[in-house]
Each structure stands twice: as structure tokens, then as C-alpha cells.
Amino acid sequence: MALEMRDAPTDRMSSDDINVWRDIPTAVISDDLNRTGTMHAAIKPVGPGMNFAGQALTAQTMVGDNGTLHYALTTAWSGCVLIVDARAHLETAVWGGILTLAAKASGVIAAVIDGAVRDVAELCESGMAIYARGVIPNGPHKGFGGAVNGPIQCAGVAVNPGDLIVGDEDGVVVIRPEQLPGLLERCRARLAKEEAFAVQIEAGVSTVELMGLPAPEEIG
């Protein structure tokens, strides 16, 4: 197997510093990052209640092959998120119940698969957050190779090992380390502003006024 294995990232955030991001909506993070860092709209949780936040363990695999993912789990650490570039292939599932069990045993809290998964009932019962591009019963091949803990792209976004990944019902957003300083405070301020907007809307203020939109051009 042509497999490139690198060591897992050692620059780990504390669990406290990571967990606070579970309360920040991905929409708010994306807004504050100027609508960047968000994965393709097709990447969604396979079931409800799968919000997560954690640092990335990356894997790139060949189309329809999941051998690389088994090796990736040998480098996992408690609280990590497995991010998989499966080439957006939807005709073969590269993730299912067995890998979910193995991932949980390795400390993985979430997996984001830019490709297909299967065994959805088991995935939903696992208590682990699983996001994917699609679902199909067809099983994977093994042995074509890939890469672990290297820079990848997943659903249109560059991801490096150790990047902070946040997921909720809206989708998945990637935060690079250099973007973290001040970001949490700005997101909380944005949430407070939106809460103030809600109060004013209930009081009868229009969103046109709240947004400071210009007067419409009169035609005819």
C-alpha cells in the first residue's frame, strides 16, 4: 500500500479551550471569518444532535478505498476530529459501523467524510458525530493508499492537522490557528448583537432599519 504516514500534530488545545466552541454556531463563525472556511453545503450530519468541536486529524484516501482510514486511527488522540478527503465519491461508502466503533475507542469524537458512509442507524446510535456528503450501502475497497496527517482539502476547504473544526446542523467550518486570536470574543459579541436585534424586531423595528439599508430606488 502506497501510504504516507506523518505524526499527529503536537500543538494541542486544552479541552476547555475547545469545548467553548460547541456553543458558537457555525453561521456566526463563518460570518466573522468573512464567509470563509465553510465546507460544501452537501456535508451534513447523518443524524440530529451531532454538534462538535475539536482539532483535525487529516486523511486523504483514494476513491472508494478506506484502508488509509484504518491506519489514520492509529494516530488518533482523545478529542480529535477525523477529517477525510474521500474525493467526494458517492458510489462507495468509506465509513461505517466498524470504523465508528474503532474511532470511538481511539478517542475520536467526530468524523467528517467528503464522500459516502453507510450503516447510518449504527452511526446515529454511536454517540459520535458523523458528517458526510452522502449515504450508500456499497462497501469500500482497501489497499490503494493515501496520506495521513498531511495538508488536505475537504469539501472545498483547506485543512491542516491541528486546525480547529466546528460542526452543527448548518454544516462544518474550519478555523486556522492564526485566526483564533480574538475570534471567540468577536463571535460572542456578534451573538449579543443578534440577541439585541431580536428584541428590537419584537418591538416593531424593521430589519431594514436594523441593517441600515439604503432607501430603495423609486422606479416608475
Residue pLDDT, tens place only, 84-136: 999 999 999 999 999 999 999 999 999 999 999 999 999 999 999 999 999 99
Assigned domain for 220 exists: no
Assigned domain for 140 exists: yes
Q: 119 with 185, same domain?
A: no
Q: 123 with 198, same domain?
A: no
pLDDT of residue 48: 96
Assigned domain for 216 exists: no
Assigned domain for 218 exists: no
CATH of the domain at 121: 3.50.30.40
Average pLDDT over all residues of the chain: 96
pTM of the model: 0.95
Q: 101 with 198, same domain?
A: no
Q: 185 with 172, same domain?
A: no
Q: Answer whether residue 190 shows pLDDT above 80.
A: yes
Q: 77 with 167, same domain?
A: yes
pLDDT of residue 125: 97
What's the CA gap between 160 and 140, in Å, rounded? 25
How many domains does the chain fold into? 2
Model confidence at 143, pLDDT cuts 50, 70, 90, reads confident
Q: Which residues, other chains included, contact 209 with Cβ-Cβ below 8 Å and sequence gap of 6+?
A: none
Q: Answer whether residue 144 shows pLDDT above 90.
A: no
Give the domain extent around 198: 181-211
